[in-house]
Amino acid sequence: MRKIAIVGSPNVGKSVIFNNLTGSYADVSNYPGTTVEVSRGKCRIGEEDFEVIDTPGMYSLLPISEEEKVGRSILLDENPCLLLHVVDAKNIERMLSMTLQLLEAGLPVLLVLNVFDEAQALGIDIDTAHLEKELKVPAVKTVGTKGAGMDILRGKIEEHVKRFC
Summarised one tens digit per residue, pLDDT across range 28-66 is: 555 566 557 888 999 999 999 999 999 999 999 998 998
End-to-end Cα separation, the chain, in angstroms: 12
Reply yes or no on whether the pLDDT at 165 is more than 70.
Answer: yes
Domains along the sequence of the chain with CATH: 2-164 (3.40.50.300)
**Confidence (pLDDT) at 7:** 96
pTM confidence score: 0.93
The rounded distance, in Å, linking the Cα atoms of 49 and 135 is 28
The mean pLDDT of 105-131, rounded to a whole number, is 96
